[in-house]
Structure 1
Amino acid sequence: MKLGYQQGDRLAYWWVDRYVDVSDVQEPPTRDAIARFFAWHRQAQLPEIATVLTRVKGEVTGPVDAAMVRQIQQDTQRLGRQAFENAVPDLADLMLTLAPDQIRRMESKFAESNAKYRKEYLKSDPGARTEARFDKIMDYARLVYGRFSDDQERAIRDAMGPYMQGAETRYAERVKRQQEWVALAREVSTTHPPKPQVEDRLRKYADHWQRPPAERAQPYQAASQAGVALTVTIANLTTPEQKVHAATRFQKWIDDMRSLMREGNGASSQASK
């Protein structure tokens, strides 16, 4: 985590450039915006993330219920919205400079990503579809809890039915979200409204797509509930040894957060001299 975060500004620029092919004129302000974002994130959000991780570290050692998982989702959504809000002015600046070919590139990259997603997770054979998603779920589960027994893996696979019923719903939401983002970018590129109006439209976009599951359409609510239930099932199948592994893993993440915060404080002190 720490190594990835330390390279975050480079990775973020690579991601933006991959989707829009940043021009020579756009490059300096884009790099500056990313640097500002990470400076803010170190100071404003790493302490909150460490607090959330500390709470979850205590929870994973005992029985886990749906309320705990939903709280983690709410924390993630809240922090995500704060990060988006911080980036809105710079996002507006970038959107106002996008050329039509850059927006077409963005649309093409979304299409490529979706084709890969469909090929991997929406296979026509239901068994193959479940197996692909099972492998992804277990990657995350093993990251937290370590190794799982064959019996545990069978129980998890058997519990995936309701979650897999929401596969098409989750994909449809993904595509719709992308389509609305491209439409927003194209509208801004075409009409060039004042920056405050672009910022307002970005916030409305976030308001719509960052709504809590309870405020979404019923199919999405069902898919979300199934995901929570599966997470609870996995957590409560774990042994005491696996729970210790999870607590240790969270402590390492917490240590990384605190180390990154110290690095940020050191950089701020140097900059003020």
Structure 2
Amino acid sequence: MSTFPEATKGTSTYLRIIARGLVLALMLQLLSACSALRLAYGQGASLAYWWIDGYADLNEVQTVQMRRDIDGFFAWHRGTELPYYITRLQQWQQLATAESSTDLVCAQFDVLRAAYLRVIDRSLEPMARLAMTMTSAQLQHLQRKYAKNNQEFERDYIRVSAEERIDHLMGKALDRYEPVYGNLNDTQLKLLRERIRQSPFDAVRVNAERLRRQADLIRTLRELQADRTTTVATATTALRRWHDRVMQSPIPGFAAYSDGLVRNGCEQFAAIHNTTTPEQRAHAVQVLRGYETDLRAVAAPY
């Protein structure tokens, strides 16, 4: 149910992208249609592989190992994480019928962040195995992929007027709210636009952090590539330290800024939710119940 500003997602880089790929069928936002969620999870291993391949351009040997690792990941995820998500969906159905608050929304965000960190922790060793075998050509492929993503970020958030940026953020927000609540009314749309207008989101600052993370990862991967004594354990540690710097930027003040963005997103969600009609809340309960049903069907054979 997360509806935090697109800016918080825009800071994701390689390992976070990998993690999203590994749980592409689920995603923490759970915003696909119920039938699509069931289908997507069933195809999750293939979708995850193609997602990763798009960044790493895997060779034949890497492909065999990655498919094995992805299968292992999904076996763990079905058995360990799906029951957790099902329980949360039941709780969210209850929350959807009542008034909300900033603190309550942020508590749910913390729940999702903890789930994300468990996914990262499970993904580190497979990614370390891949990192140890990446070639210079593959690192160049990754950099080209980054460059394309960076151009898209600049196009959407930097090389635009303030109103165009708000329009883009508004569209992204609606893509997250309306699958849950149904169409927002004029009052809600006006409130959402005003909330976005007041957001502390700074595209230039966010982009600088994105570029820092990308450069940090490329440097980490090159060091692993150059060190012939690297083991899976030391490579895993190197990636863990890199991800620690993702979660807690070494740039002075950025961690506080990021926390402020999250808090602002919590305020936005609570404000919009508290304007929803009984019909919209009933719609949200129905959607969340559908997600629960789908995840139960996916997990049932296991």
TM over 0.5: yes
Q: What is the CA–CA distance in structure 2 between the aligned matches of 1:259 and 1:69, rounded to whole Å?
A: 28
Which deviates more, 202-211 or 38-47? 202-211
Change (3 A) 1:57 1:70: same
| Identical counterparts, % of pairs | 26
- Measured in 1, the distance between the counterparts of 2:254 and 2:164 equals 29
Please give the per-residue CA displacement for 1:127-161, whole angstroms capped at 9, x wherever unaligned: 11101110110111101100111222112111212
Q: Does structure 1 residue 191 correspond to structure 2 residue 227?
A: yes
TM-superposed CA distance for 1:206, in Å, is: 2.6
- 1:170 Cα deviation from its structure 2 partner: 3.3
Q: Spell out, residue by residue over 1:163-187, the C-alpha distance to the aligned partner (whole angstroms, 9 max, x if none).
A: 2544333333333322222221121
Q: What letter is aligned with 2:133? A: T
Structural mapping, 1:26-37, within 5 Å: 26-37=62-73
Summarize deviations over 1:67-124 as a string: whole Å, max 9, x none: 2211222111111111121122211111110001101111110110121122123343
User: Distance between the aligned counterparts of 1:119 and 1:135, measured in 2?
Assistant: 15
Q: Tell me the SS of whatever aligns to 2:116.
A: helix
CA spacing shift, 1:137–1:40, aligned 2, 3 Å: same
- The answer to whether the 8 Å contact 2:56/2:141 transfers is yes
Taking a change above 3 Å as real, the CA distance of residues 181 and 204 of structure 1, as seen in their structure-2 partners, is same
| In structure 1, C-alpha distance between the alignment counterparts of 2:94 and 2:243, rounded to whole Å | 32
Of residues 58, 65, 77, the one that matches 2:94 is 58
What residue number does 1:238 align with? 276
Please, which of 19, 25, 28 is the counterpart of residue 61 of structure 2? 25
Q: Hey, what does 2:82 align to over in structure 1?
A: 46
Q: Distance in 2 between matches of 1:261 and 1:84?
A: 21
C-alpha separation in 1, matches of 2:57 and 2:263: 38
Residues 160 and 209 from structure 1, CA distance in 2 versus in 1: closer, same or farther, beyond 3 angstroms? same
- In 1, Cα distance between equivalents of 2:106 and 2:148: 32
Query: CA RMSD, aligned part only?
Result: 1.8
CA distance in 1, matches of 2:208, 2:38: 34
Amino acid paired to 2:240 = R
1:222 to 260, 271, 280: 260
Match of 2:292 among 254, 263, 268: 254
Aligned mate of 1:136, from 172, 177, 187 = 172
What's the TM-score once normalised by structure 2's chain length? 0.82
Superposition TM-score, scaled by structure 1 size? 0.90
* Number of matched pairs: 262
1:47-196 matches, within 5 Å, as 47-163=83-199, 165-192=201-228, 193-196=230-233
Q: Distance in 2 between matches of 1:197 and 1:180?
A: 17
Alignment partners' CA distance in 2, 1:143 and 1:123:
29
State the alpha-carbon separation in 2 of the partners of residues 197 and 130 from structure 1: 44
| 2:169 and 2:196 in contact (8 A); partners too | no
Q: Distance in 2 between matches of 1:166 and 1:79?
A: 27
Answer yes or no: is the 8 Å Cα contact 1:96–1:189 preserved in 2.
Answer: yes
The structure that is helix-richer by fraction is 1
Structure 1 unaligned spans of 5+: 266-273
Of stretches 44-53 and 224-233 in structure 1, the one that deviates more from structure 2 is 224-233
- Alpha carbons of structure 1 residues 54 and 178: separation in structure 2 relative to 1, 3 Å: farther
Higher Rg = 1
Gaps of 5+ in 2: 1-36
